Structure formats: C-alpha cells, structure tokens
Structure 1
Amino acid sequence: MHQTALERLNWDDLRFFLEVARSGTASGAARRLGVDYTTVSRRIRALEQALGALLFEKSRSAGFVLTVEGQHLLGHAETLESTLQAACEQVSGTRLGLSGHLRIACTEAFGSCFITPQLSRFLERYPHISMDVLPVPHFVSLSRREADLAITLERPERGPYVCSKLCDYRLRLYATPAYLEANGPIRSRDDLARHSFVSYVDDLAFSSKLLYLQDLLPGAHSRLRSTSVIAQYQAALQGRALAILPCFLAGPDPRLCEVLEGEVEVIRQFWIYYSEDLRKLKRITLLADYLRACAELNRPLLMGESNEMAYLPAD
C-alpha cells in the first residue's frame, strides 16, 4: 500500500528542521538540541525523503540555506510549534500552574540593571517557569528564535510582531566629584568644550538612537569609546571623563553626580515585542504585561526623578 507524505512523516523531525532553519547550521542546531551533528543531518535527510523535497541548500560559506520548499514549510512548522506549545501550556496549566521556558533579549544596561532584578519577583509568582535573560549590546533575531521576547530602542519596522511601547527613559551627563574637583567647575555648555567624554563607537553602534553625544554637544571630544554602555559607566567611575548615561544606571550610584542639571539630557524609548505566533502562549503575554507594570511602577527611576527601584508584590 502506497504511503502518503503525511504517513511517512516523523513529526519530531520538524523540531530538527526548525532549529536548523533558525541557526543556519547543523552544528548550531545540534548544540541547541543537545545531540550530535550526525543526528541532525540524519533527521533532516529523513524529513526531506518523507516529503520528497529538498529543504536546504548546503554550502561551506552560507551553511544551511532554506530552499523555496523549505521556506514554505517553515511557516507551517512554526504555526504547528506554537499551537503545540499553547496546547501543552493549557493542559499542564490545569495541573501544575503556568510552566515552560522563556528567553528575553534586551539592551545591555536595561537588561542587567532593571529587567533582571524585576524578573526575580516574576519567577516567585510562577515557580514552574524558567528564564534566560540576554542583555546584549546588539539586536537579537526573534524570527530565528534566538529569543521569545525582545526589548529594543527602536520599534520594529516590519514583521509579524505584537509590539508596544514599554516606557520612556532619560539620560543625563555624569561625572565623579573627583573629576569635577580636578578639572574645574562646569557652569555652562560652553565649559564642556575643554572636557573629554566617554561615548559610543559611532560606526559600530547597533542603533542610531545611541548616537546622542554629537547631537547634544556638537564637537564633543571623546578619547575613549566603547560599544558597551556598562563599559562607559565603568570608565566614568574612574574619574577621567564625562559620560552621558541612563538615569536608572548612574542616578542610584553615589560615586557619580549630575553635571549641568536640567541642561544636558535626552529621552529615549524602549519597545517590547514578540512574534505574532506566540500570542496564544499565556506565559508570553503574562511576562509582557508584568514588564509593562514594572516599567510603569518605576517611571520615576527611569526618568531620573528617583534613585530607588520599586518592585511589584510577588503574589
């Protein structure tokens, strides 16, 4: 009796297909799945044979590249994955409460100094959820499932995303008291011309929203630059230069003081988003709602009106 493609298909092979499509390599998929390279290759070959279609073109330079047939399958496989995740969540939720694993990507300072502390309370509320936090100074791809939810400086211009503004935050000019004592008083913007700044590496900044130094202080001199705001913060603490830093990072630190209060500042936004196909996952929507509530509660800290972080109750 002739078998159809559906009858020949091993559904678990779709899991291997998704990881290869997202990582672009069999070795990358193998690491994420906890298996060896040959297992991944074998499962992809089995899937291609079951479907009677070539899903990837392989090259030394580009790795595993989806064919047209592979691109068609990817959309359907992601829909199946999301539906299965939602089903498992509902079934296990009746017995164990909300459970599962989440990965959140965010900008470096915000992820390290705000999101991570806030998430400790979220995990107390939902003890069966585990979390990865990726506070990195670059973009993370949601389409490749490098993360489930992202917080970025810019709203995504395209893509099937559920997106909303998370909050505004303010940056100000900071220095150590020792720096100000050694380099003379700063009474106006004109006085800044003779001072050195720590700033971003212009051509390597992952967002144009970070290039505010020249906009605020045209001609500002910077001898030390870094792609990391944490590195800029640490450099400012050495008392050798000025730095424009987020108030939520520098404000609570008594080793730094604001320079030209109210005169040199900038407001930026954080956006929170996740893939449309994850909308049905309750743990995703609950996390997004929780982070919005945390941001609203901490508006004074984020806008430089308070140096104290506030927390939602654990229950």
Structure 2
Amino acid sequence: MAIEQLDWDSLRVFLEVARTGNLTQAARRLQLDHSTISRRICQLEVTLNANIFVRQNRGMSLTDAGRKILEHVERMDSSMVMLRESLATNSSAVGGTVRLATMEGIASLYLSMFIPELKAKHPELHLELVTSPYHVNLNRREADIFLSFFKPPGRSMHIEKLGEFYLDIYGSETYFAHAGKPASKCELEKHHFVTYIDDLVQLEAVRWLDDVLLQRETTFTSSSMIAQMVAASRGAGLVLLPRFSVSHFPGLVRIDLPDLVVTRSLWISAHDDLQPTPRVKAVTEFIRGLIRRDTSSFAVM
C-alpha cells in the first residue's frame, strides 16, 4: 500500500494506541477487536517504512518517528473534531453530549444537584459526569472538560482558575456528646478523625487534613469522601470537608474555629479544539455561574 493510500481509520487506530499506550484499551475505545488493532498498526508501519511503536511488557510507547507522526495526526484529529462540531451546530439550540470529569466529592455532593437546572436551560444537552481520583488527560480525549483541585498539566488546553473553596471541620452531635466540641485549633489534637487512606491518596490536593494536623488520632479511613461523611455523621470522629459537600448532607455540624483557614483551588479546563464549541461553552459557563453565586462555599477570583 502506498503512503498516499493512508486512510483515516488506520491513523485513528494509531492515535488511540498512542494515547492509551495499550492495544486492549485502544480496541475497547474504538470498539474493535485486539487482532484488528494489532494488524492495522503492523500495516501502518509497513506503509510508512518505519517502526512507530516499541512493544514492551507494560504496553506500547512511541519511537521518535512515532512522535513526529503523532504531531500531524493530532492536528488531523483536531480538524475532524471541528468539522463534526460545525456540522452539529446548524441549530440554535445547544445540544449534544459533554463528558465532564471531576472528583467524587464535587460530582456526587454538589454538581449532581444542579443537573435539572442545566437540563431546563439546555434540554438537548446531555451531560456525562465521570468521577476519577486521577488526573484526566484531555489530550487523550478522556473527557471534554476537567474540573480539578489543581492546575492540570498539558498542552493545547484552555485552563481557567474558577476560585478557591473553603474547608471546615465537621462532627456529629453523637460525637460531641461523648468527646466534646473543640473551641480552638489547638484542641483538635485531643480528638479523633476520619480521613483518607494515606497510601491510597492519588491527588496531593486532598491531603487537606495535613494543613491542620500532621499528627492525629484516626478512627476510620477511606478512599471515598462520601464514606468519610457517613461515618462522621454517625459519630466516628471529626472530618475536614469542603463546605460545598455538606450543605445538603444531614447529620454533620460545622465547627466554627476562627483560627482555622483551609482552602483549595478549583480549576476548569478543556481542549483548545472544544473550548469554543457551543456544548462545551454551555457547560463551562453553567459551572462558572454556580461557583460565582455560591459565595458561602467559594471565593471567586
């Protein structure tokens, strides 16, 4: 096959393998079988007369030639994305699917409450809300939008800091009845805490209890913020949580400690190709509006 006969399907296979570094994951994303993916990669290398991948036990990595090809294929992919978007925007209504990736707490305990409001504003828009404890790679098209507690790395991305969110110590009346309620930051050393499992923390930003106490007694640890909240609401101990997560959660009482101030940044990002599209702009603007009006939970930049 001559290089002039290269088709987009073969290049799309190359792009997915380059993004995932794994034949199996690429096959799953493209809904093809493993053998088809492998065969097309081999055919592509014959056509280009170059080795574009290094096969390793842990996956596939690009060679120097493969990285050069990736630059061109990514530009082609961006053009295809923009073509699809332009064909889909022949209606005045904002529609289509947007995949928003973020952390479990803000997804389940905050954003999900406002889905009816988003649907009322944009009935033809479908939001896919994905929770992940990891960095989501927008360059690999793992999501359209990433809402994160840190400034994400990457290229060709529109990144915006939405503001800061506040965190406070919470406990239950059951816990206060037998352990008392701390009146100052220094009294926290006498209390028991519910927090994350230290060696399973994937994002340094959620080690927020370290801002308050490096040495503490813990009675329960979990990788899930929701599990921490439930345990604390039943009296397992004190817990440090974002304010946005507790407003509609029963059983937790905020402890007002004037000498305690803990905040984290909130960032929203989208690939440069998708940021101007009506569907992504609609979701981005909606989230920005939620943050700006919730002045009790967020400090807007």
Residues 134, 224 of structure 1: alpha-carbon distance in 2 compared, 3 angstrom cutoff: same
What is the CA–CA distance in structure 1 between the aligned matches of 2:281 and 2:74, rounded to whole Å? Answer: 18
What is the CA–CA distance in structure 2 between the aligned matches of 1:26 and 1:195, rounded to whole Å? Answer: 50
CA contact (8 A) 1:89 1:98 kept: no
Partner SS for 1:151: strand
Report the Cα offset of residue 260 of structure 1: 3.5
Partner SS for 1:74: helix
What is the CA–CA distance in structure 2 between the aligned matches of 1:96 and 1:39, rounded to whole Å? Answer: 40
CA contact (8 A) 1:111 1:133 kept: yes
Report the Cα offset of residue 227 of structure 1: 2.8
CA contact (8 A) 1:173 1:265 kept: no
Q: 2:211 aligns with which of 212, 215, 232?
A: 215
1:19 maps to what in 2? 16
Residues 273, 257 of structure 1: alpha-carbon distance in 2 compared, 3 angstrom cutoff: same
Which amino acid counterpart does residue 208 of structure 2 have in structure 1?
Y
What is the CA–CA distance in structure 2 between the aligned matches of 1:205 and 1:103, rounded to whole Å? Answer: 24
2:142 maps to what in 1? 146
CA contact (8 A) 1:55 1:69 kept: yes
Which amino acid counterpart does residue 199 of structure 1 have in structure 2?
T
Report the Cα offset of residue 128 of structure 1: 4.4
1:57 maps to what in 2? 54
Deviation string 1:119-164 (CA, Å, 9 cap, x unpaired) is 4433444444433222222222223222222111111355332111
What is the CA–CA distance in structure 2 between the aligned matches of 1:299 and 1:158, rounded to whole Å? Answer: 30
Which amino acid counterpart does residue 148 of structure 2 have in structure 1?
T
Alignment of 1:115-126 (within 5 A): 115-126=111-122
1:183 maps to what in 2? 179
What is the CA–CA distance in structure 2 between the aligned matches of 1:74 and 1:57, rounded to whole Å? Answer: 14
Partner SS for 2:296: helix
TM-score normalised over the length of structure 1: 0.85
What is the CA–CA distance in structure 1 between the aligned matches of 2:49 and 2:60, rounded to whole Å? Answer: 18
5+ residue gaps, structure 1 = 304-315
Q: 2:236 aligns with which of 229, 235, 240?
A: 240
Alignment of 1:120-269 (within 5 A): 120-157=116-153, 159-269=155-265
Q: 1:88 aligns with which of 84, 90, 115?
A: 84
Report the Cα offset of residue 95 of structure 1: 4.8
Residues 80, 123 of structure 1: alpha-carbon distance in 2 compared, 3 angstrom cutoff: farther
Report the Cα offset of residue 11 of structure 1: 1.6
Alignment of 1:11-50 (within 5 A): 11-50=8-47
2:105 maps to what in 1? 109
Which amino acid counterpart does residue 174 of structure 1 have in structure 2?
Y
Partner SS for 1:94: coil
Report the Cα offset of residue 259 of structure 1: 1.8
Partner SS for 1:222: strand
Report the Cα offset of residue 302 of structure 1: 4.0
Deviation string 1:224-245 (CA, Å, 9 cap, x unpaired) is 2233222221221220200011
Residues 13, 282 of structure 1: alpha-carbon distance in 2 compared, 3 angstrom cutoff: farther
2:3 maps to what in 1? 5
What is the CA–CA distance in structure 2 between the aligned matches of 1:260 and 1:234, rounded to whole Å? Answer: 20
Q: CA RMSD in A?
A: 2.4
Which amino acid counterpart does residue 26 of structure 2 have in structure 1?
A
Alignment of 1:69-84 (within 5 A): 69-84=65-80
What is the CA–CA distance in structure 2 between the aligned matches of 1:31 and 1:157, rounded to whole Å? Answer: 26
Count of aligned pairs: 299
TM-score normalised over the length of structure 2: 0.88
What is the CA–CA distance in structure 1 between the aligned matches of 2:116 and 2:139, rounded to whole Å? Answer: 27
Report the Cα offset of residue 282 of structure 1: 3.5
Q: 1:66 aligns with which of 52, 62, 75?
A: 62
Instruction: Provide the identity percentage.
Output: 31
CA contact (8 A) 1:89 1:100 kept: no
What is the CA–CA distance in structure 2 between the aligned matches of 1:70 and 1:125, rounded to whole Å? Answer: 44
What is the CA–CA distance in structure 1 between the aligned matches of 2:109 and 2:181, rounded to whole Å? Answer: 30
